[in-house]
Structure 1
């Protein structure tokens, strides 16, 4: 798979850009998209670049965002509209190549190797960028590289409305001096472990050695080593996107449930199962969808946007319970289903830790990590999180 030409295209501040495209009076102004915008406890999920320059860094509480930017304009999310615009965005991409792999609602990979038709990659990228802007009113950044990792890294460097080429021969000069957490796929905890091994930069990862990284981090250590050398053999696979659009489970109850207390253990189980599969697939969920089937066989589905892309079972369970409380009509329930939706690759999203709760977040992550390691070693039923009424 040598000499590939891969584009990574990322819509800039997608939700905010859609709102500005629909309402031109918002263009150029500090804008935040926040759930429960009418309540002070709302969470900012996306902010325009004008808002980010004022210190609004999603995900943050709305009150904190307004403190940083008193002139902040706020809109509640319109997910159906965002999905509609996302579909149009990918229609544009699929008109350029037969190999398009959506990564999330607002970004995807294109294999342009056989679709340049003699044109320079940058010229083609410029034409795609301009078409998306002209037809949809949405700005995007495009990274160009010989593989998915380098293309993704390049697009992250030039926002908004940037185009960046990152070649394999540039890796030692441009990537190696960077802190290891700048590598796509390395989160805060992995970076912390690396620093304990005196690995501070991407160059240190490359020098540390593949075998030693594998002994500490398992197969992910091998992937880490390859990325540090600019190696990534993953193909752009349109079908893989279909596999990971959502991750869900459902359970038919042994007896019809007549109270929230009856359904709580099932929600607990489903949350654990969804979280396990999210971890296994190395993705986060940006939203949850709850399925309720009543004893009459009437079935409803309700969805909620998560406060930030995540995969931990505790937050998933908390949000699922909240969704159940607001969706259940009081009738007898025979089946419950829970699905993580709008999936995002790990490394493409972060959670902003709260000054007063970051230690709790870390402890929770540690517990989940121990459970996952035991399950991987002894089987999925060897140990599970307990449920307490």
Structure 2
């Protein structure tokens, strides 16, 4: 496979399930088809956040991360359902089964998207026909719509899949980058969020084309290593291979510890969870990952094991957030018996640059400060090794 890819131009597909959670709900309940639909964390709370919405709802101006109250004002007939994560996971597995029936070179990126290297199963000559076959199989067998981008690398394939939704298939060639991408605002480039956009604007860079031709030293000083990667992508360059094993590496990151003595008091367990969460957060930072499932492990003195987890809507990566959820799980599920081992794991991981932050006016500034500090710690860890920085705790 490696020799074939080296000898021939790579053909990478990016498959993106369209409005996945809402589409699954419509497939499971045909009565929901054709109506404005949203999936929200707490449908009874007007301040609850929309996790996703159907294209019928988007026609009214409704969008993901909007509050239920805002969405209802735009679309009074909006039908809202709570999320069913187990169902979404099952349907996701079925989608990936279809992809793997064509090739083993499938890299799941998240629950609803994946990269597929199709270089050796048709190349560019038959790429469109293959993408159409995959798209129609998923639609006919699972009743789920998807869009597919076809390109010589991951970045361009991801960009292409966003160009035509729902049920689109788009081919994006490197020679088309200057014409199709360079005139666009930098915010429309995959991997650039509002904060990065502000930094680029401050340096007089407003379009993808301006980023592509900017002085390298200027970009590095402005955004560091990530800026250099973004500039390469702006020029249509991305050398990352499709790596099926990377999905396994990204399933979860955890840490556990066997205790020197059995613990029987809550106050003795809290600092253990804080230390475990800090270790997990450091490892997440090194790989620039975040996750939506937090699990704890409790092994009792009689060697009985208990594992409990909680799946949330907004991915987490900070030690404080991991600690908070882990302790909530612990308080709810500990049976007050002596404890021999404790563990914390963050699962269902995604790359942080693929996150959609659900921020309020109250927490935006604080999260931005924490993210910048986290990036600094990650950079120092990369350079000097784990343990070079230890977090100090203060009592307020």
Note whether the superposition's TM-score is higher than 0.5. yes
2:208 paired with 1:229:
no
More displaced, 159-168 or 327-336? 327-336
More displaced, 372-381 or 295-304? 372-381
Residue 121 of structure 1 corresponds to 127
Question: Residue 296 of structure 2 contacts residue 308 of structure 2 at CA under 8 Å; is this kept in 1?
Answer: yes
More displaced, 155-164 or 283-292? 283-292
CA distance in 1 between counterparts of 2:196 and 2:123 reads 42
CA deviations over 1:320-374 (Å, ceiling 9, x no partner): 2223233323322222222221122233221132133322332333333344444
Q: How many residues align?
A: 389
More displaced, 168-177 or 44-53? 44-53
2:97 paired with 1:91:
yes
Report the TM-score, using the length of structure 2 for normalisation. Answer: 0.89
CA deviations over 1:31-83 (Å, ceiling 9, x no partner): 22233445556443222222333344333444444444333323222222222
More displaced, 242-251 or 217-226? 217-226
2:198 paired with 1:188:
no
Q: 1:17 aligns with which of 19, 23, 31?
A: 23
State the Cα distance separating 1:253 from its structure 2 match: 2.8
Point out 4+ residue stretches in structure 1 off by more than 6 angstroms. Answer: none
CA deviations over 1:128-148 (Å, ceiling 9, x no partner): 111100000111110110111
More displaced, 368-377 or 290-299? 368-377
CA spacing shift, 1:349–1:52, aligned 2, 3 Å: farther
Question: Residue 43 of structure 1 contacts residue 307 of structure 1 at CA under 8 Å; is this kept in 2?
Answer: no
Aligned pairs for 1:171-320 (under 5 A) are 171-320=177-326
**Backbone CA RMSD of aligned residues:** 2.4
CA deviations over 1:191-227 (Å, ceiling 9, x no partner): 3322232222211221113344334434323312211
CA spacing shift, 1:202–1:209, aligned 2, 3 Å: same
More displaced, 18-27 or 258-267? 258-267
State the Cα distance separating 1:170 from its structure 2 match: 0.8
Question: Residue 58 of structure 1 contacts residue 352 of structure 1 at CA under 8 Å; is this kept in 2?
Answer: no
CA distance in 1 between counterparts of 2:226 and 2:97 reads 33
CA spacing shift, 1:125–1:377, aligned 2, 3 Å: closer
In structure 1, stretches of 5+ residues that fail to align are none
Question: Residue 250 of structure 2 contacts residue 350 of structure 2 at CA under 8 Å; is this kept in 1?
Answer: no
Question: Residue 11 of structure 2 contacts residue 123 of structure 2 at CA under 8 Å; is this kept in 1?
Answer: no
CA spacing shift, 1:54–1:369, aligned 2, 3 Å: same
Report the TM-score, using the length of structure 1 for normalisation. Answer: 0.91
CA distance in 1 between counterparts of 2:359 and 2:59 reads 20
More displaced, 226-235 or 38-47? 38-47
CA distance in 1 between counterparts of 2:377 and 2:263 reads 29
CA spacing shift, 1:332–1:160, aligned 2, 3 Å: farther
State the Cα distance separating 1:312 from its structure 2 match: 2.7
State the Cα distance separating 1:379 from its structure 2 match: 4.0
State the Cα distance separating 1:377 from its structure 2 match: 4.7
Any idea what SS the aligned residue of 1:157 has? coil
Residue 167 of structure 1 corresponds to 173
Any idea what SS the aligned residue of 1:290 has? strand
State the Cα distance separating 1:251 from its structure 2 match: 2.0
2:55 paired with 1:49:
yes
CA distance in 1 between counterparts of 2:184 and 2:53 reads 26
State the Cα distance separating 1:291 from its structure 2 match: 1.9
CA distance in 2 between counterparts of 1:91 and 1:133 reads 14
CA spacing shift, 1:157–1:329, aligned 2, 3 Å: farther
CA distance in 2 between counterparts of 1:69 and 1:319 reads 34
Question: Residue 285 of structure 2 contacts residue 374 of structure 2 at CA under 8 Å; is this kept in 1?
Answer: no
In structure 2, stretches of 5+ residues that fail to align are 1-5
State the Cα distance separating 1:25 from its structure 2 match: 0.7
Residue 156 of structure 2 corresponds to 150
